[in-house]
Structure 1
Amino acid sequence: MNELINTNQNENGEILVSGRELHEFLEVKARYNDWLPRMAEYGFKENQDFIAITQKRVTAQGNSTTYIEHHLKLDMAKEISMIQRSDKGKQARQYFLELERKWNSPEMVIKRAHEYLEKRVKALSTDNLVLHQQVNELQPKASYYDMVLQNKSLLSVSKIAKDYGMSARAMNKKLHDLGVQFKQGDIWLMYAKHQDKGYTQTTTHVIDADKSKVSTKWTQKGRLFIYDLLKKEGIYPVIERPDSQIV
């Protein structure tokens, strides 16, 4: 089936249609900004049947300007096409019906289920690694659990890196090269041999029902560990460097 109108998929697995592309395909004479609100009056609700998105584009003169685009759910796109009462409208509606039929075919359902499972397995793998590190970090000092959670002296790697005149990225890479930590997705995790030393504290901040953010901070003990480790490599904090030492 030739792609008459571009479509994409949202995070819920629903097909979305560009309002502007549909308007252009239907060859509607009215301006898009006048036409779409009139179509919405047929009982469609924003953020339920369609969403409005502010986009940017560059004009022929090289200036940047903004415009409003709409992503329509498939049912809305089908009904709008039928409302047009034109050959183009009929063609678009038939196209959407065929697209929907293929989208809901057993093969496509299985494919989407497989993709979903792959994402969940990857997420669970990361979650398990984080949980394992959290357990190993807190287990040796379980009696200090509450105190550790309220500890105000925890430091981000960027603050420690600043002591050495380094960026957080450079510090993380150095600790990785020295066998201290490894990266899992967007998270730096300690290798097992360091997890129970009390060098770090990893916490999970819940944003909402579906989202959370993992953060790893260094304790003062971890800060001294980094100091001793880098000292062996000939790397000293800025404050301890001779004036003649080149950074």
Structure 2
Amino acid sequence: MQNLTVIENELVPVYETSTGEKVVYGTELHQVLGVKSVYREWSARRLKDCDALEKQDFEAVEISTPSGQTMKNHIIKLDTAKEMAMLERNEKGKQVRRYFIKVEKKYKEMTHDMLADLSTELKAVIVVDKRVTKVEQRVEKLENNMTITHEQIQVIKNRVNHKITCLLGGRESNAYKDRTLRGRAYSRFNKDYCDYFRINARANTLTAKFDEALQYIDLWEPDTNLRIQILDSNSQINMEVA
């Protein structure tokens, strides 16, 4: 949902995406509705009330402010925006909802009129093009949801093993030889990794996140408590019984 073009600005600015989708910015909708609660709280509540799905009904984005800072925003499809306006249950919400309906009707009629003047051959081409676009969008969605391959799982496993071994001080270190401590290090890493990528197992890493996963492994560091345990273990003197 990028490359937005303003097509209506009578009440709430309405934008059109490169694929023809009609959308609004959440902060602009929030401002026109005159909501008293802050945007972050309101948007989270209303999107949940609408059962809106990210990447399907809206997209979370960050925009630059005049001061040079960034703020969280949402690009919201018109159907969801209508429902969010309606849920305000006041006159302004009704006004905004009627405005969105008017915009939808206007552009549907424009599309219909444009198609009416085209030849049968061109209409057929447009229908096929729309079908191809939908297929491409579905393929892209599937690709974005694909998890890493068996070979990539093995690459990550080897990278993790190398990382943990180095952090423990090598295979000959006391920390590495301490199975409990070694297991604690792996457990801590796996939890941090899964929390970061919002998955329940490393094998569920998205293919699109593979390179980021390798970088995460290289940069990961244990928490202070675990680091102290590793240092304490490696500082102990091994006593050999003659």
Q: When you count helix as a share of all residues, which structure comes out higher?
A: 2
* TM value normalised by structure 2: 0.42
* TM value normalised by structure 1: 0.42
Q: When you count strand as a share of all residues, which structure comes out higher?
A: 1
